[in-house]
Amino acid sequence: MTATEPLHWIKSSYSDNGGVCVEWAPAHASATGIVPVRDSKRPTGPLLMVSAEAFAGLVTLARSADL
Entry pTM? 0.76
Which stretches within 1-67 are classed as H helix? 26-32, 52-64
- Model pLDDT for residues 7-44, shown as the tens digit of each residue: 999 987 665 666 668 899 999 999 999 999 999 888 89
Task: Indicate the SS3 state at residue 12.
Answer: coil
Strand partners, 34: 51
Length of the chain: 67
